[in-house]
Amino acid sequence: MNRDTNHLNTVNPFISSRTSGMILAIAWISMQAFLFFRFGIESEFEARKYIEQADLLLTTGSVSHPSMWLYSIQIFLIAAAKQLNTGFISVVAVQLLFNALATWSLYRLFIRLSNPMTAFICVLLFILNFPFQLFNVFLFTESLFYSFTILLSCYLLQLTSLTRQNVIVILLFLLLICFTRPSGLLWLPCVFLYLFLRFFRSIPILLKGLLILSVTIIFAILLNKAVGSGGELDFILPFREEHIICGVPTYTGSNGSTEDANSLQGIMNYIIQHPRQFGRLAWLRTQAFAGMVRPYFSSGHNIYLVLYFFPLYILLIASLRNWWRTNRPILIYCLALITVTWGTVILTCDDWHNRFFLSIVPYIYILTLPALQKIISKAGTYFSKK
């Protein structure tokens, strides 16, 4: 995006940079305080799983199944709180710390990609994103996962050169998110794609092909390993029982089975054998994923989701041309993360509380920046004339 000095000097006609930072800090503290005192610390539902695994880790030194190591960051954190007798409040404190760091990192990234006023508005929207921020008081994996992925992306998108130290930091970030939630694996191809587009455009075609092939093979092996890890991860069940929302079957009959079902090959075989069912489920899951509204939410909650998120879609679409002209690697990185998350929902199911969608919301914010900046600039010009 165009960021000439004269434009930057006029994009923040309402408040100074210091004042905007204070407002954002107050807004963040107010939101977290409201959530904490209104909802308390959520230690039931999915949190029970991590608490039980933490207890098992402390008593036996291991978890119930190898697949649970893919959630080990949260399990270790809860186990540490129990071992040190600091209570679950210490877990929430850690989650809030990383959320604050992620928020600050987003603010710095948004300023770099647009201007101070646009960054201020966009981060304020992020802080006021009630469904996203609510996970900060839940003992689920989402709060840390969202924060870690934001910190990784903010670091990645502000790199001006690729050094050995940068590569080590990126690999450590990827390792961290992959052991926070299994879906961290989805960041692997997207991060490589960005690095490839940003820093490896001039390498020979043969080497490019070898790099792409190597990363594809590594990603396929890791993904197949995660899919076949067993435990509670059954990737054919959502097809057999026609889950739109995970854990909520809509069909109780038999849709057949495949050999070696819990593998990439098994999933592909199932889709080939049941193309009409797959197409129907893909459409319904897409509606649930992008539409966000749920019949079990209150009318007010659904109205909030529509009024908050649907304008972001419009801003995103209006910004695509600008991104294509000015910074294609960032555009492709954000769209890749959105696409692979959406694709994962199509191949499995959507979450009861939109947790999968919320993981891509920061990248929707990034993609809305050009259109949002244009609107704010016009508003600033209008009010300055007044």
CA 311 to chain centre: 19
User: What's the confidence (pLDDT) of residue 7?
Assistant: 41
Segment 314-336 mean pLDDT = 94
Q: CB-hemisphere CA count at 13 Å for 334?
A: 22
Average pLDDT, rounded, for the chain: 84
Q: Which phi and psi (to 5°) does residue 350 adopt?
A: -100, 160
Q: Torsion angle of alpha carbons 44, 46, 47, 51, nearest 10°?
A: 110
CA 206 to chain centre: 33
Q: Which two tokens stand for residue 125?
A: 């929207």
How confident is the model over 178-237, as pLDDT tens digits?
999 988 888 988 998 898 888 877 666 666 666 666 766 776 666 656 554 444 556 677
pLDDT band at 3 (very low <50, low <70, confident <90, very high): very low
Cβ neighbours of residue 203 closer than 8 Å, sequence gap 6 or more:
211
Cα–Cα distance measured from residue 26 to residue 52, given in angstroms and rounded to the nearest whole number: 36
Comparing C-alpha atoms, which of 214, 146, 152, 218 is closest to residue 183?
146
Q: Which two tokens stand for residue 383?
A: 């009010």
Instruction: Give this prediction's pTM.
Output: 0.86
- The total domain count for the chain is 1
User: What's the confidence (pLDDT) of residue 2?
Assistant: 45
Helix (H, G, I), strand (E, B) or coil at 241: coil
Give percent of the chain above pLDDT 70: 81
Domain that holds residue 231: 5-385
Cα–Cα distance measured from residue 366 to residue 208, given in angstroms and rounded to the nearest whole number: 28
Cα–Cα distance measured from residue 70 to residue 72, given in angstroms and rounded to the nearest whole number: 6
How confident is the model over 43-80, as pLDDT tens digits?
888 889 999 999 999 999 888 887 788 899 999 999 99
How confident is the model over 281-307, as pLDDT tens digits?
889 999 999 998 888 888 998 999 999
Comparing C-alpha atoms, which of 117, 119, 158 is closest to residue 9?
117
User: What's the confidence (pLDDT) of residue 183?
Assistant: 85
46-70 b/e with 16+ CB inside 10 Å = b?
Answer: bbebbbebbebbeeeeebeeebbbb
Long-range pairs for 36-45: beta carbons < 8 A, 24 or more residues apart: 36/92, 36/137, 39/134, 39/137, 40/137, 41/88, 41/89, 41/91, 41/92, 41/137, 41/138, 41/139, 42/137, 42/138, 42/139, 42/140, 43/88, 43/139, 45/140
